[in-house]
Amino acid sequence: MKVSIIGGGGLVGSMAAYALHLGKIASHICILDANAQVAEGVALDILQGTSLVADQRVTAGTIEKDIPDSHTVVITAGLRRKPEESRLDLINRNVDLFLGLLAQVKAAGLKPTTNLVVVSNPVDILTHLAVERSGLDWRRVIGLGTQLDTARLNSHLARRLSLPATQVRALILGEHGDSMVPIWSSATVAGLPLAHWPGYTPTLEREVFEETKTAGATMIKLKGGSGFAVGVSIREVVESLLLDSRKVLPVSSLQQGLYGIRDICLSVPTVVGSGGARDQVEVAISPREHVALGNSARVLRDILEQVRARLSGKPVVAVAPAAAATAPAQTPSAPQASAERTVPRQAWQAR
C-alpha cells in the first residue's frame, strides 16, 4: 500500500519515511516536499538500502500525481518560529500553510477511502480543521496527538526505574501541548501497578512527566528537533492503518462525547485500523485526571476559537487561559502589542 509523506524532505518527514522503510509494511513510500530536489535526495537515499531491508518502491513525487492513488497521506510540513514572532502568529502561519496543502490534496483527488494522518503542529487544531475541510469521514482523519508524548513517557520511566521499556505502559491523553494529561491511575509494569513498583515515588512521577513535557524543547536545543522517536511514533500509527491492526493508540480524533468531551480533536484511547479511528474508548480514570482532560479540551477550544476568528476576519478578544489541573499555574508571558491569548508552548514549538 502506498504512503505519501507531505513534508518528507524535512527532519520529521524523512525520519517517518525511514521508519516506514524499516517497518517493511508499506509497499510504496512517496516523498513529497516543496523542495523537489531534497525530496528526490531523501527518496534515493532510502531506495539505495532497499536491497538490504525490503522490496519497496521509494519515489519522490508531487501532490497532483501521487495523492489520488495513496492509501495513507501523512502531513508533516510545518514552519519554525521567527525572531520577535508571537506564538499565535506562528500558529496562524502554520494554519495557513496546512490549509493550503490540504486544499491541494483535496483538489488532486483525495479518495474517500484514504486515511489522513496529521503530524504538523498545532496537531490537534490542524486535525480539527482537516476534519472540517478535507471532505473525509472524521474517522479517517487522525492526528499524531499524544502518541509521541506517550512513547517518551514510557521510555523515560523505564530508564529511571531500570526496566525494559517495552514493559512499561502509561498513557498521556488530551492536547499535544502544555495541558497534556498523564494517566498515572492505570500505569503498569508488565501488567503490575506502577504505583507499587520498587523505586516509584510521587517525586519520580513529577520529574519524569516534566522531562516528557519539555522533551520537544530539549531536542531543539540539543540537535535542532526530534527525529527518530517521532518517526517510529508515526510508523506505529500508519502501520496500524495499513494492517488493520486495531491497536489502541493515544491519537487525536474528533471527540464524540466520551469523557464529557465533544466537537474538538484531542487524544483519547483510540482503536486504529483500516477505516481510521474505528472506535474511541472510555475507561475509568481518576477524578483529577478527568478534570484535567476537560481542561485540556477547553484550552484547545480557546485556540481553535482564535484561529477561526482570524480565518473569518473577526477580531480576536483576549481571555484568561484555562489553568492546568495537573501542575501548578504558570506565570503568563508578557502580553504582545496586539491582544493575544496565552497559547501553550508545545502548540507552536517543533517536536
Q: Which of 21, 128, 156, 176 is catalytic?
A: 176
- Cell numbers describing residue 183: 494517566
For the domain made up of 2-143, the CATH class stated in words is alpha beta
In 11-42, which positions are buried (b, 16+ CB within 10 angstroms) versus exposed (e)?
bbbbbbbbbbbebebbebbbbbbeeeebbbbb
Instruction: Note whether 79 and 94 are within 8 A (CB).
Output: yes
Which grid cell sits at 277? 479511528
Using N-to-C axis directions, what is the helix angle for 215-223 and 202-213, rounded to 10°?
Answer: 50
Q: Do domains 2-143 and 147-346 have the same CATH topology?
A: no
The sign of the dihedral angle between the CA atoms of 97, 227, 151, 291 is negative
Contact 335, 207 (CB under 8 A): no
pTM over 0.85: yes
Dihedral pair phi/psi, residue 245, rounded to 5°: -70, -30
Query: What residues does each domain of the chain span?
Result: 2-143, 147-346
Contact 92, 310 (CB under 8 A): yes
Q: Are 219 and 226 in contact (CB under 8 A)?
A: yes
* CATH number corresponding to 147-346: 3.90.110.10
Answer whether 253's CB lies under 8 Å from 281's CB. Answer: no
In DSSP notation, 148-217 reads HHHHHHHHHHHHHHT--GGGEEEEEEB-SSTT-EEEEEEEEETTEEGGGSTT--HHHHHHHHHHHHTHHH
The whole-number pLDDT of residue 207 equals 97
Q: Are the C-beta atoms of residues 2 and 28 closer than 8 Å to each other?
A: yes
Distance of CA 172 to the CA centre of its chain: 12
Beta bridge partners of 304: none
Cα–Cα distance, 247 to 25 (Å, whole number): 16
Q: Walk along the chain (351 residues) in steps of 10 and give the mean pLDDT of each run.
A: 97 97 97 97 98 97 97 93 71 94 96 97 96 97 98 97 96 95 96 95 96 92 92 98 97 97 97 96 96 97 94 62 38 34 42 65
State how far the Cα of 258 lies from the Cα of 290, in Å rounded to an integer.
11
Distances in whole angstroms, Cα of residue 47 to Cα of each of 55, 115, 247, 276: 10, 24, 29, 28
Cβ–Cβ < 8 Å for 89, 307: no
Q: Reply yes or no on whether 196 is catalytic.
A: no
